[in-house]
Amino acid sequence: MVLRLDGVTKVFGAVRALDGASLEVERGEIFTLLGPSGCGKTTTLRLVAGLEHPDAGEIALRGRVVASVPRRVFVAPHKRNLGMVFQSYAIWPHMNVFENVAYPLRLRGVKRSVVAEKVTRVLDLVGLAGLDERGATLLSGGQMQRLALCRALVYEPDLLLLDEPFSNLDAKLREQMRVELKVLQRRLGVTVLFVTHDQIEALSLSDRIAVMQRGRVEQVGAPRELYERPASAFVRDFLGQTVVLRGVVREPGPRGGTITVALDGALAGSMLRGHAGPAAALAAGAPAHLAIRPENIEVAGDGRSTPEANTLTGTIDALLFVGDRYEARVVLGGEQRILMLLPRAREWHEGQRLQLTFPPQTVSVWPA
Ligand SMILES: Nc1ncnc2c1ncn2[C@@H]1O[C@H](COP(=O)(O)OP(=O)(O)OP(=O)(O)O)[C@@H](O)[C@H]1O
Ligand SMILES: [Mg+2]
């Protein structure tokens, strides 16, 4: 294990920026902190880096306690052997590319010949070979980003801390950097603690993700596990899109079996079946939410809804072509609107009636 946080709390005045957070990062993984603005991601990185002192709890790097309130330990930042790239990456504008990367090594008193060899190697790894002499300010945004990464990687840190490192880049470049970081990380075997509030970035890049809310760790897991088996409504709705329909439990069904829910409001009179979410059993009559990912809803044109097939009828209210598919707002029962995806292989039009099938194994039922 490379990093362990144990019940770490950080208070700023009246704000509990971190509230008893615990997590463990394994060697060689990309571990991501994901959560809405203000949930404590940057604070966590700053505590790990030693730029903040915790108010409670303990932090250990490679088994060595670097900050502990109960044990009164605090190891200075430069003695933690960490690499860092923050959102506003600092590149020295008066130095060329080579000197920018060499600087951290010179600071550590590394021999000249070794410096040259190491710098050349990392520049080569990130595709900046041949740009050694270029002034750092004469690079493109993506190249500067890579230069910042080089500088953090060159002294082979035990742990690389990345705080929204791609936030200054345009969408295309971000996607490209995402892939490059993953390939680079695999090649070097470096352990990365990554921070983002972008769920796609988190899902695509991470080996494991900790979803945070209000200074707490809500759930830790592999991307697919979090997406397919969220432990709370917060995680479910933060990661990806979810269609939520409200109702009341009609038949609880056997444990692990299907639950029948009578829908409320505009959809009163309709019933849908799903399986139990992570919560405890739901009794008959309990208010419930049915949740389904838009990509799991199946669509047939112009059909009628049949309860046996777990279907509802809807009408396309707005249709957006987004390149690889359509995104549609569909109205159910005259007033409930849901967002869903429609394949490009067919023609669709606003006002079109649809038969929507909700496969019961992809519908989860949650207490309301
Ligand atoms: N130095 C500080 N003084 C006072 N409050 C702070 C300080 N640093 C952080 N906070 C507060 O602590 C909370 C967590 O902040 P943090 O920067 O860790 O959030 P974040 O998850 O990184 O958010 P973002 O996605 O916007 O970067 C916020 O409410 C923030 O206002
Ligand atoms: Mg932040």
Q: What is the pLDDT of residues 117-163, one digit of tens each?
A: 999 988 988 888 899 999 988 988 888 888 988 888 888 889 999 99
Q: What pLDDT score does 187 carry?
A: 87
- pLDDT cut 90: percent of the chain above it: 67
pTM (predicted TM-score): 0.89
Distance from the alpha carbon of residue 216 to the mean position of ligand 1, in angstroms: 13
Q: Which residue, judged by its Cα, is nearest atom 12 of ligand 1?
A: 17
Cα 288 to Cα 298: distance, rounded to the nearest angstrom: 22
Half-sphere exposure of 247 (CA within 13 A, CB side): 28
The answer to whether residue 302 scores a pLDDT higher than 60 is no
Cα 252 to Cα 327: distance, rounded to the nearest angstrom: 33
Mean pLDDT score of the chain? 91
The answer to whether residue 258 scores a pLDDT higher than 90 is no
Q: What pLDDT score does 7 carry?
A: 98
Neighbouring residues of the ion ligand 2, judged by CB less than 5 Å: 42
The answer to whether residue 174 scores a pLDDT higher than 90 is no
Q: What pLDDT score does 286 carry?
A: 92
Please provide residue 267's backbone torsions phi and psi, each rounded to the nearest 5 degrees.
-100, 15
- 173 and 93 in one domain? yes
In the numeric block, the tokens 């953090």 are attached to: 152
Q: Which residue, judged by its Cα, is nearest atom 20 of ligand 1?
A: 38
Q: What pLDDT score does 144 carry?
A: 87
Q: Which atom of ligand 1 approaches the CA of 33 most closely?
A: 21
pLDDT band at 51 (very low <50, low <70, confident <90, very high): very high
Please provide residue 357's backbone torsions phi and psi, each rounded to the nearest 5 degrees.
-105, 130
Question: In the listed set 238, 267, 289, which residue is the last one of a domain according to the structure?
Answer: 238
User: Where on the phi/psi map is residue 109: left (φ > 0), alpha (ψ -120 to 50), or beta?
Assistant: left
Domain count, the chain: 2
Measuring CA to CA, which residue among 221, 281, 226, 289 is closest to residue 255?
A: 281
- 227 and 330 in one domain? no
Measuring CA to CA, which residue among 186, 197, 207 is closest to residue 87?
A: 197
- 256 and 332 in one domain? yes
Q: What is the pLDDT of residues 56-67, one digit of tens each?
A: 999 999 999 999
The answer to whether residue 366 scores a pLDDT higher than 70 is yes
Residues with CB under 6 A from ligand 1: 12, 15, 17, 35, 37-43, 197
Cα 177 to Cα 175: distance, rounded to the nearest angstrom: 6
Q: What pLDDT score does 256 carry?
A: 65
| Test site for ligand 1: of 10, 16, 42, most ligand atoms within 8 A of the Cβ | 42
Q: Which atom of ligand 1 approaches the CA of 215 most closely?
A: 14
Mean pLDDT on 354-359? 93
- 172 and 125 in one domain? yes
Ligand with smallest separation from the Cα of 39: 1
Distance from the alpha carbon of residue 89 to the mean position of ligand 2, in angstroms: 13
Q: What pLDDT score does 254 carry?
A: 67
Mean pLDDT on 272-287? 85
Question: In the listed set 192, 209, 238, which residue is the last one of a domain according to the structure?
Answer: 238
- 270 and 179 in one domain? no
Provide the H-helix boundaries in the chain: 41-49, 97-107, 112-125, 141-153, 171-188, 199-205, 223-228, 233-238
- 342 and 204 in one domain? no
pLDDT band at 307 (very low <50, low <70, confident <90, very high): low
- 12 and 136 in one domain? yes
Residue with the larger pLDDT of the pair 276 and 70: 70
- 228 and 345 in one domain? no
Q: What pLDDT score does 66 carry?
A: 98
Instruction: Give yes or no for a contact between 328 and 348, defined as CB atoms under 8 angstroms apart.
Output: yes
The answer to whether residue 306 scores a pLDDT higher than 90 is no
Residue with the larger pLDDT of the pair 287 and 251: 287
pLDDT band at 166 (very low <50, low <70, confident <90, very high): confident
- 321 and 209 in one domain? no
Q: What pLDDT score does 353 carry?
A: 93
Mean pLDDT on 243-258? 84
- 136 and 69 in one domain? yes
The answer to whether residue 214 scores a pLDDT higher than 60 is yes
Q: What pLDDT score does 87 carry?
A: 64
The answer to whether residue 194 scores a pLDDT higher than 70 is yes
Question: In the listed set 178, 208, 238, which residue is the last one of a domain according to the structure?
Answer: 238
Mean pLDDT on 105-125? 91
User: Where on the phi/psi map is residue 210: left (φ > 0), alpha (ψ -120 to 50), or beta?
Assistant: beta
- 232 and 249 in one domain? no
Instruction: Say which CATH number the domain at 302 has.
Output: 2.40.50.100
- pLDDT cut 70: percent of the chain above it: 95
- 218 and 162 in one domain? yes
Residue with the larger pLDDT of the pair 197 and 206: 206
Q: What pLDDT score does 97 carry?
A: 94
Q: What pLDDT score does 278 carry?
A: 81
Instruction: Say which CATH number the domain at 19 has.
Output: 3.40.50.300
Task: Give the range of the structural domain holding residue 315, as residue numbers without chain letter.
Answer: 243-367
